[in-house]
Amino acid sequence: MQKKLVSFIGIVLLSLALYLLPTPEGLTPNGQYSIIFMLAAVLFWVTEALPIAFAAILFTVLPAIFHIAPCPK
């Protein structure tokens, strides 16, 4: 349980640090955020800090909630 909590906090802090970095030239902010979401999703799956099914659903829905990906109408 302790290892999962440390992994969870580490992934969240890494994602926040990447979010605060300036956007590289030639990449849109939404592109940068999409890369951060995908990296976080993969790290959550690998470390199993969140159950895999929950992480899969969460990272499918979050981009639409944060307006990173278009939401189908």
One-character DSSP codes across the chain: -HHHHHHHHHHHHHHHHHHHSPPPTT--HHHHHHHHHHHHHHHHHHHTSS-HHHHHHHHHHHHHHTTSSPPP-
In a domain, residue 73? The reply is no
In a domain, residue 72? The reply is no
In a domain, residue 51? The reply is yes
In a domain, residue 32? The reply is yes
State how many domains the chain has: 1
Could you tell me the residue range of the domain that residue 55 belongs to?
Answer: 2-65
In a domain, residue 26? The reply is yes
Give tens-digit pLDDT for 5-52.
Answer: 999 999 999 999 999 999 999 998 888 998 998 999 999 999 988 888
In a domain, residue 70? The reply is no
Would you say the pTM of this structure is higher than 0.85? no
